[in-house]
Amino acid sequence: MQVNPFNSVVALGHLNGTVTMWKPTSPTPLVKMLANHGPVSALAFHSNGHLMATTGMDRKIKLWDLRKFEVLQTLPGHDKTLDFSQKGLLATATGSFVQILGDFSGSQNYSRYMGHSMAKGYQVNKVLFRPYEDVLGIGHSMGWPSILIPGSGEPNFDSWVANPFETSKQRREKEVRSLLDKLPAETILLDPTKIGTVKPTRKREKPSK
């Protein structure tokens, strides 16, 4: 299960290879798509909200364009966990090996950037990038180490969104401000850009004589 940072829609991966997307007020999924031919083992969203990565027991990693719900790229690999960094790097892991993929051409064509092998016998269960830092956390069967991944974190932060140097007073004010700015659940949509727009009025056609 993952939450799309762009529209707050929740995505679930299922044993039949499908991915469903939900909002709190809908009794049925907004989207139901066949992602992999086999159980979906992990999924992740890019920070822009338009790119989703899935992997499953069919030993394939798929990158999806959520604006068209089309596959952009299929890569070999059976991975147990996926995570996008703030700058768009994709961390994958299976067994004791961690691989970092990157889109260096700007055309959403991912290729290998870095690799890291854990000690023999260590089974990686989770990878997670640390926001605003070039650090990747790796959860495995014997602990939780971290490695440096240059270029993975966003170097500039917005103090209204996340301030690593905030004081206790600022933290309390931020909590109150976030509650006041919180949108109701009814406004969660696949395309949040429609919020606040005005539906154009249709011109009435004159009756023909």
Q: How many domains does the chain have?
A: 1
- The CATH code of the domain that includes 129 is 2.130.10.10
Quick check: is 123 in a domain? yes
Quick check: is 85 in a domain? yes
Per-residue confidence in pLDDT tens, the chain, 209 aa? 999 988 889 999 999 999 999 988 889 999 999 999 989 999 999 998 899 999 999 889 999 999 999 999 999 887 789 999 999 999 999 888 999 999 988 777 899 999 999 888 889 999 999 998 999 999 998 889 999 999 999 988 777 677 777 888 888 888 777 776 677 777 777 777 666 666 666 666 666 65
Quick check: is 190 in a domain? no
Quick check: is 33 in a domain? yes
For position 161, what pLDDT does the model report? 73
Quick check: is 45 in a domain? yes
Quick check: is 202 in a domain? no
Quick check: is 209 in a domain? no
Q: Is 186 exposed, middle or buried (0-12, 13-18, 19+ CB in 10 A)?
A: exposed
For position 177, what pLDDT does the model report? 76
Look up the domain containing 125 and give its range. Answer: 2-156
Quick check: is 58 in a domain? yes
